[in-house]
Structure 1
Amino acid sequence: MTDTTQVQRTAVVTGAARGVGTAAARRPAGGGLTVGVIDLVEPDCAETVEAVTGIGGAALAVAADAGIAGAGPRADPAKAGPIASTPSPALRLRPYGMTANAIAPGSVVSGMSRASARRLGLRFEEFRRGAAQSLPVGRVGLRELVSGRVICVAAARRAEG
C-alpha cells in the first residue's frame, strides 16, 4: 500500500502586518510554505496576505497579541522573555514534527522606527545614527536581513531532521 499522506509545512509569523513581519512572512511563502499572518488587528494583515498569495503562497490572517513593547536597548529585557520561553513550546511540539523559534531583532529600519523618530522630533537619519551608536554592531538592521534569519533558522531545523 502506498502512503499518500502529504505534509503541509506552515510558518507562523507574528507582527506580520508590516515592516520586518511582512518581509519575514514573504520569505517562507517563497519556499512554498503556508503562512499564518499574525498581528493585533486582522484587517491590518490584508497587505501581507496579498503579498504572500501574490508570490504563490497560501496565507491566513489571524488577530492575536503575541508581541512585546519597547525599542532599542531598553527592549532587551522584554525580548528575553519570549526568547527564554521558546524552548517550552518547541519541546511540546517536537513529537508532531514542529519547531518553535524566536527572533528578536534590535533597532531595524522600518515604519515603526520612522514613527519613533517623528515622535521624538528627530530627522530619521539622526534617529538612525543615534540608534546605531547604542548597538554593539554599530548599525541598525534592515528588515530584509532580519527576514533572512527566519529562513536560516527554518533551513537549519529542516536539515537537522
Structure 2
Amino acid sequence: MTESLRRTAIVTGAARGIGAETARRLAEDGFAVAVLDLDEAATKPTVDTIVSAGGRALGVGADVSDADQVQAAVRRITDELGAPTVLVNNAGITRDNLLFKMPDSDWDAVIAVHLRGAFLMTKAVQKHMVDVNWGRVVNLSSTSALGNRGQANYAAAKAGMQGLTKTLAIELGKFGVTVNCVAPGFVQTEMTMATAERIGQDWDDFVAARVAQIPVGRGGLPGDIAHAVSFFVSEGAGFVSGQVLYVAGGPKA
C-alpha cells in the first residue's frame, strides 16, 4: 500500500469543473477524497465516478466562508474518511463587473468564498498535517491575479491567494507541510461558459478568441489543472513550497 492510500484529501468546489477533475485525479493517485461543495447533492456525480472506479470518496456540503460549517465538515471528514493531510482550496465564484457598476455585495461574496474560504479551510485542516509532520496544501489562483478588466473582485482574491500561499509556506514548512499555488489560464469549464453568456458572445467565438492568444494553440482543460495539483501533492514534491505555477499554455497570461 502506498502512502497516498493511507491519506485523505479534501477538494473544495469539487462538484464540477476543475474541482471535480482534481478530485477524480487524486482518487486515481490513491487518496481517499472528500468532495466538498456548497450543495452536497451536487457532489454525487463526482463521488459516484470515484467509487465506481474503486476509490473512496465522501460528498460533503459546506459553505467554505462559514467558520462553523467548515469546522463541522472537517470533523465529519476526519470521522468518516480519516484525518485530512491534503487540501485543495479550489472553491470559487465570479461576480464580474466594472468597478463603478460593482455592488459591494459582489465584492464581499467573491473575497469571502476565495480568500476567507481558503483561510478557514487551511486553518481547520493544518492541525492534522502538523500532527503527522506531513501535509500538502494547494491553492487555486488564476492568471486574472495579474489584472483583468471587469474582475476587480476576482483578480484581488486570486492575487490574495498567492500571498496567502507564500506566507503559509513559511509558517508551515517546519512541520513538513508544503503550500503551493496553481494559477490556471483560460480553461473550458461551466464558469467560463457563463462568462461568455454574460457578455453575449457565442461560445465557439469566445474560445477561438482566447485560443488565438495561447502559444500552445488550445484552451485548457480541467485535467491540465488536476495534473499540476497531482504533482504538488505528491511525495516527490516535498522540496517545492511557496510556488505559483501558471498553467496557461504559454509564458503570458
User: Which category of TM-score, normalised to the shorter sequence, fits these structures?
Assistant: 0.7 to 0.9
Partner of 2:94: 69
Pairing partner for 1:37 from 35, 42, 45: 35
Q: CA deviation at 1:30?
A: 0.5
Contact 1:38/1:64 (CA < 8 Å) preserved in 2? no
Q: CA deviation at 1:106?
A: 2.6
Partners in 1 of 2:219 and 2:5 — Cα distance?
38
Secondary structure of 1:86's counterpart equals: helix
Partner of 1:3: none
Normalising by structure 2, we get a TM-score of 0.51
Partners in 2 of 1:84 and 1:45 — Cα distance?
29
Q: Which structure ranks higher in relative contact order (CA pairs < 8 Å, sequence separation ≥ 6)?
A: 1
Q: CA deviation at 1:39?
A: 1.6
Q: Percent identity?
A: 38
Equivalent residue runs for 1:11-90 within 5 Å = 11-62=9-60, 63-65=62-64, 66-69=91-94, 73=144, 74=148, 75-90=154-169
Contact 2:5/2:32 (CA < 8 Å) preserved in 1? no
Q: CA deviation at 1:138?
A: 6.6
Partner of 1:144: 223
Partners in 1 of 2:231 and 2:182 — Cα distance?
11
Partner of 1:8: 6
Match status 1:125 vs 2:150? no
Gaps of 5+ in 2: 65-90, 97-142, 149-153, 241-253
Q: CA deviation at 1:18?
A: 0.4
Partners in 2 of 1:149 and 1:36 — Cα distance?
19
Gaps of 5+ in 1: 1-5
CA RMSD of aligned residues (A): 3.0
C-alpha spacing 1:44/1:154, structure 2 compared with 1 (3 Å): same
Partners in 2 of 1:54 and 1:94 — Cα distance?
36
